[in-house]
């Protein structure tokens, strides 16, 4: 059931924030699909696919491991610290950033770059002022320990287990 809910919520979020709104930005700014396709479009497509795959991986982990969804009103019941969350605390947002950055390259659009920067600023505020305090309340010491070990935005190599 959590997997179904996670996929529904992710589809709505992706549809709105990563497809509909960027399409509106492109339309308002008069940007159309480039022809012929060149190096920037190929690189942009690859980055978009990698970002989308990362975001989907995160959605699946939230459902399977966390027994919840990425939606604030239906959060994971267990702290998710594995998979991509082992390397960075917010890989789902980074996946969305990559997808938008890839689209920005594909369309060679300054307006879409502005949307990406706005999205990143809103995400930062959401994480700092809502998400992290909520997770501290929900998961207490285990979340604080996780925050000490894993960076908010800059991925790093997973710590080597000692023993």
The domain spans of the chain are 2-149
- Find the DSSP H helices in 87-131: 91-107, 110-126
Q: What are phi and psi of 99, to 5 degrees?
A: -60, -45
Q: Is a pLDDT exceeding 60 seen at residue 118?
A: yes
* Percent of the residues in the chain that have a pLDDT greater than 90, as a whole number: 68
pLDDT band at 6 (very low <50, low <70, confident <90, very high): confident
The C-alpha atoms of residue 142 and residue 121 are separated, in whole angstroms, by 27
The C-alpha atoms of residue 60 and residue 70 are separated, in whole angstroms, by 10
pLDDT band at 162 (very low <50, low <70, confident <90, very high): very low
Compute the mean pLDDT over every residue in the chain, rounded to the nearest whole number: 90
Q: What average pLDDT does the segment 107-132 reach?
A: 96
Q: What's this model's pTM, rounded to 2 decimal places?
A: 0.88
pLDDT band at 158 (very low <50, low <70, confident <90, very high): low
Note the pLDDT tens digit of each residue in 90-105: 999 999 999 999 999 9
Q: What are phi and psi of 52, to 5 degrees?
A: -65, -40
Q: What is the DSSP letter of 83?
A: G
Q: Is a pLDDT exceeding 60 seen at residue 163?
A: no
pLDDT at 159: 59
Note the pLDDT tens digit of each residue in 41-83: 999 999 999 999 999 999 999 889 988 888 888 888 999 999 9
């Amino acid at each position: 059931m959590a997997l179904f809910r996670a996929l529904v919520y992710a589809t709505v979020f992706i549809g709105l924030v990563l497809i509909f709104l960027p399409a509106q930005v492109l339309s308002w700014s008069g940007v159309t699909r480039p022809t012929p396709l060149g190096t920037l479009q190929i690189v942009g497509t690859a980055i978009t696919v990698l970002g989308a795959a990362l975001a989907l991986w995160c959605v699946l982990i939230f459902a399977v491991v966390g027994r919840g969804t990425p939606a604030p009103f239906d959060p994971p019941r267990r702290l998710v610290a594995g998979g991509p969350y082992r390397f960075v605390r917010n890989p789902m947002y980074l996946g969305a950033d990559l997808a938008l950055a890839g689209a920005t390259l594909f369309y060679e659009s300054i307006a879409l770059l502005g949307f990406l920067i706005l999205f990143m600023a809103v995400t930062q505020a959401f994480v700092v002022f809502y998400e992290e305090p909520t997770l501290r309340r929900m998961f207490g010491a285990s979340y604080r320990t996780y925050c000490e070990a894993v960076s908010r935005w800059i991925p790093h190599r997973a710590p080597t287990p000692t023993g």
